[in-house]
Amino acid sequence: MAGGRWRGRRSLLLGVFAVLVVLTGLGVGVATTEDDPPPVPAPATASPASPSRAAARTVNPRNPLSARQLIALPRTDGSWPGANGLSGVNGDPLFDTAHVKAFCTARGRACRIAQTYTDRTSWESMTRGTGWTFELFADFEGMLVVSQGLVPDGAAADLPACARGEHDADWRAFGTLMRGHYRGDSVVRLGWEFNEQTSSWRADDPRTWIDCYRRAADNIRATNPDVLLDWTINAHNTPAGVCGGVSTNCYPGDDYVDIIGIDNYDHYPWSPTKAAFDRTATRPEGLTWLYDFARAHGKPFSVGEWGVVPTGDAGRENPSFVKWMHDWFATHATHLAYEAYFSDCGAGGVQSSLFRTDAPCRRNPRSAAEYATLFGG
């Protein structure tokens, strides 16, 4: 999201983290053609500069929670979610199985994925101390997508230290934590939305950011070779002082990325017409623009967050955006690894909730009906 407009959503997430802590008592390849099936990300292998990755693999060939196996399932362009499409949501208001299931029950179809976050209060809390991220989804029968920062919130000054390897042990601890909770074979959106103006790990210095990302990737993989790393941008705008104004200038390289993704909301600019939606999607930093970049690098594509934004420049809900996103997913289903709607009722946030009816939530009834029709049943 552009500029300071994302602060509300980030504040919401941190507020939910605090609630969770209180409630639980936990401590704080080569490009392929469009007709090819989605590439199955291979288990990480050590590069000459990487630590040894001889750690025992946790993948179970019959594990229904395996991100690798679920993403590898065949999908055909023209329908979504279909039999094998990976569609889901974040937990709202709490990041847990119960709230993901509540959303999915309301839409009329079980969710195959849950999207969640780590506690980014400190290096300790976001790596070895974020076990609750996994414990709250211990009973979730599907794939887990974890959004993980590159530094703690408010610690942008730590990026150079990360790039120098001073936090390698923290990243190795995070990989170990994932495996310890039997979620090694999950997706991690590492340093997601690095091109967003208010991000603590904003990529003002592309070289430093890339070096930090690579250190994190190498060391998470060192203790958890099953992890899938998703490099995700914020749609529609990269400020001139971030990545030289183009998000892909901060691409860390194919060896460090398994999935390429985008967070795509109906705001700044919103889409009043299908023609406007298509124009925004094909422009630099847009949905289709980045999809084409992913295909050129032989990577599957993801949309880890998307939703209507009645608090943005639209000033209202937009059920047509829901339809256009669904149609886009269907058109690109073969190479779409997963998508997750972002549900939010936080004060100052995007107010994208579809099915919550409690006091903090702005109602989006027409968008909810459209979503249930297209993604349910």
pLDDT digits (tens, 9 = 90+) for 44-75: 543 333 333 333 344 445 577 999 999 999 99
Residue 377: which pLDDT band, with cuts at 50, 70 and 90? confident
| Per-residue pLDDT, 58 | 44
| Per-residue pLDDT, 63 | 77
- The full set of domains in the chain, from first to last, is 3-26+38-44+55-375 (3.20.20.80)
Q: Is 339 helix (H, G, I), strand (E, B) or coil?
A: strand
Higher pLDDT, 377 or 353: 353
Does 324 have pLDDT greater than 50? yes
Strand partners, 115: 90, 145
Does 354 have pLDDT greater than 70? yes
| Per-residue pLDDT, 31 | 33
9 HSE (CA, 13 A, CB side): 27
% residues pLDDT > 90 (the chain):
81
In the numeric block, which tokens belong to residue 122? Answer: 């400190």
Which amino acids are annotated catalytic?
Answer: 193, 305
> What spatial distance separates the first Cα and last Cα of the chain, rounded to whole Å?
31
pTM of the entire predicted model? 0.87
Pair 141, 65: CB distance under 8 Å: yes
Residue 298: which pLDDT band, with cuts at 50, 70 and 90? very high
| Per-residue pLDDT, 126 | 98
Tokens 């190479």 sit at which residue?
A: 335
- Burial letters 7-34, b for 16+ CB under 10 A, else e: ebbbebbeebbeebbeeeebeeeeebee
% residues pLDDT > 70 (the chain):
84
Please state, in angstroms and as integers, the Cα–Cα distance from residue 132 to each residue in 94, 97, 287, 310, following that order.
12, 12, 32, 32
Pair 194, 238: CB distance under 8 Å: no
Strand partners, 188: 146, 229
> Environment class of residue 47 by beta-carbon count within 10 Å: exposed (0-12), middle (13-18) or buried (19+)?
middle
Residue 40: which pLDDT band, with cuts at 50, 70 and 90? low
